Each structure stands twice: as structure tokens, then as C-alpha cells.
Amino acid sequence: MARIPVTELKAGMVLAEPVKRKDGMVLFAAGTTLSEEGAKRLAALGLDSVNVSGEGPDEGLAQLFRERDARLDRLFRAHTDSAWMMKIKERLRSYFQKRAAQAEKG
Amino acid sequence: MSQDLRTEYRGRILKAGDLPTLPKVLDEVNRLMEDPNSSTDQIAKVVSLDQALTARILKMVNSPIYGFPGRIGALPHAMVLLGLNVVRGVLISASVMDMMNKASVGLWRHSLGCAMAATETARVAGLDDPEEYSVPGLLHDLGKMAVALQIPELQDDMKYLVEVEDMTMLAAERQLMGFTHARVGAWLADHWRLPPFIKEGMVHHHAPDKAEHYPLVPAVVHVADFLVRLFEYGSGGDGHIPYLEPAAVDRLGIKFKDMEKVMDALAERLTQFAGYSFS
């Protein structure tokens, strides 16, 4: 996910979050694939930028996964005697690290 | 823990007048759902007589819990997409929402996250109608909220045991009340005559293999609860991750790869709850 200035939106880009009017009415749902027409209409709405899926690094997501990795020992502190829970913890660790690296690369 | 004190606590938790009442329209919906001759349109008509409730139902079905790409603007559409059981569950949830929010915002967020995680967990487990699992996911900790609201003087001791003694909430509840929020959940479910599908998720989410009729429900909620606690979205009441019961994982037939899919969805969508209000 990346924030893209509305002037640089192109057909084929996928909205990562809904675009709403001030009163909350959803104009474009999350997951909408923009047509050329849609990109133009969005640019005309007066927004600065929108979040688009899969474009470039996602710092927020990378940080979220890094934080999760850092919290594992603390969260699992009552289960150090359980081989099963320690195994789960290590699987989770590699998952969080893998996803953090992917989000950084974009 | 004396029997007298337990009985007193139970009485206070269920004290009529303090607990929210479920809307009358729910009785009518239940009746229509049991009647094979009734139609979805009929049920939608009955529900839509209550406009505030209808607005809440639509807000909820359009929430990140379900992650539908488009906007659902009308009740009949929601009923087709989600099924009647979910709409009935959402109706129940809409009525206890204020109580949940009032008891603890952290717990309310945890519940929303769990509703989303339960839906996704049911989906990766290949269960039919995964959206139906959102409701037991949302309501699984209702017992905690009822305790917080009805026996407020226990909160300081509870806090002490959890924060200073580093106990789990479950252990603290046992020590202070002689029963846990799971038991309270059973009382509330009976009090409100909730469907067994929802009740079993509330009662057995810590011991999923004890469920009698719908063993998949507490298994789903158990895994969902674990995953939301992992993301520390909202607050489950203590800073521990619960033990992940291998029996629940086996029951659902899921692998770690499947849990990764649920976590991917949580990482993407939990943030969308920020600023979400159902009132």
C-alpha cells in the first residue's frame, strides 16, 4: 500500500481504503480498481492523495509487523514451559519478520 | 469463595433493569425465521420498522468485520449477502453494543477484532457461511463487560491481580468471584435466550473441546481470540496471550499457513476500525 497524489492516479490502480464524502457517504469502495474515468473523477474531488494497494513500500505495515515481532517474548511469557507454545511463537516470529521485510520492499 | 457470595454476584449480574433488554422486534424475527412460509422480505419489513436499529445493522454489515468491497445500502441486500442468522446476530449485537462500549472501549475493540478474525478463521477453515461466526466472535467476552458494569467494586482488585500479580484475567476472575466470564456468558445467553450457536461460542471459547452442539464455534472463536490478542488490538483485559489449544486447531483442520492468511487480513483491516463507531 502507498499514498499516491490524486494527480498521479492511473487506470488499473486498486484503492486500499474507501474514499468518502465529508458526510461519510462512500464514493469509492476499498478494493475498487480504478478506470481512467474513475481516476479522473477522484482527481476532481479535491483530495490530496489516496492509499493504493501494492504500490511501493508500506512503512505502516512494516512497522506493525516489526512491533508484533518485538512483543512476542512478552506476550508468551506465561507459556515458556510449553514446547507447543514456544514452537508457535517461533513460527510467528518468522512470519512477522518475513512480512515486515516484504512490506519494506513493497 | 463462599457459595453465598457467588450467588449474590450472580444475582447482581443478572439484575433486571440494569442489563439492556433485547428489542421486541427480535421475538418477531425469531418467530418468522421458524416459520417456513415466511420470506426474507417479510423479515426485512419487520426489522425496518425500527429505524435506529436498521441504521446500526447496516453500519455493522458495512464494517471492516466483513470486508465486503461495495456498500450495502438496504436491509434485504444485507440479508441475502449475510444470511438471516447473521442479521439476527447483528440485531442482538446492536442492542448490547452500548453496554459493551460503556464497560470498556478496549474490550469493545478487542471484540470487533475478534469478530473479524472469527469470520476469517472460519473462511480459511472452509466452513459454510463464515460470516455467521462473527457474532459469537463479537460477543465472546460479553461476560467480562457485564461483570465490569454490574459489580464495579471488583475492578480495582481485578486490576491489581492482573497488573501487579501478572495474573491472567481468567485466573483473577476465579480468585475474586469463584467463576469466570465464560460462566457469566452462559447466564447472559440464557437470560436473553440467545441461539445455542452464539451461546456455545461465549461459554466455551477457553475450552473449545467442551462444546456439546456446535464444537466448531468455540474452536473458531478460540483461534480468533488468540490471533487478536497476538495483534494486541484493543484489550482482552490482561497482557497475556492465551494458550492455543491444539484440539481447536485440529478440530478446524487448519495449518499454520491458514493462520497466516487470517493474520494477513488482520494486519490489513484492523486499522480500518480506527474511528469506527456504531452509535
Distance from the B101 Cα atom to the nearest Cα atom in chain A, whole angstroms:
22
| Closest-CA residue of chain B to A28 | B70
Identify the pLDDT of residue B276: 66
Distance, in Å, from the CA atom of B121 to the CA atom of B220, rounded to the nearest integer, reads 6
For cell 480504478, the residue is: A34
ipTM (interface predicted TM): 0.89
Distance, in Å, from the CA atom of B2 to the CA atom of A106, rounded to the nearest integer, reads 59
Q: What sign does the CA torsion over B54, B58, B275, B64 have?
A: positive
Beta bridge partners of A50: A4
Distance, in Å, from the CA atom of B253 to the CA atom of A85, rounded to the nearest integer, reads 18
Q: Cβ(B243)–Cβ(A87) under 8 Å?
A: no
Could you tell me the pLDDT band of residue A20, with boundaries at 50, 70 and 90? confident
Distance, in Å, from the CA atom of B114 to the CA atom of B203, rounded to the nearest integer, reads 15
Burial of B135 (0-12, 13-18, 19+ CB in 10 A): buried
Q: Does B279 touch chain A (CB under 8 A)?
A: no
User: Percent helix, strand, coil in chain A (nearest 5)?
Assistant: 50, 15, 35
DSSP, collapsed to helix, strand or coil, labels residue B257 as helix
Which chain B residues touch A2 with a CB distance below 8 Å?
none
Q: Does A70 touch chain B (CB under 8 A)?
A: no
Between positions 17 and 46 of A, the ones with CB within 8 A of B are 17, 26, 29-32
Detail the DSSP E strand segments found in chain A. Answer: 2-5, 19-20, 26-28, 49-52
Q: Does A71 touch chain B (CB under 8 A)?
A: yes
| Closest-CA residue of chain B to A32 | B69
Identify the pLDDT of residue B256: 97
Residue B109: φ, ψ to 5°: -65, -45
What confidence tens digit (pLDDT) does each residue in B139-148 have?
Answer: 999 999 999 9
Closest CA to B132 of B74, B71, B88: B88
Average pLDDT, 10 consecutive residues per value, chain B (279 residues): 85 85 87 88 89 87 85 88 87 83 87 96 96 95 92 94 95 95 95 92 94 95 98 91 97 97 93 69
Distance from the B178 Cα atom to the nearest Cα atom in chain A, whole angstroms:
22
What confidence tens digit (pLDDT) does each residue in A76-85 have?
Answer: 999 999 999 9
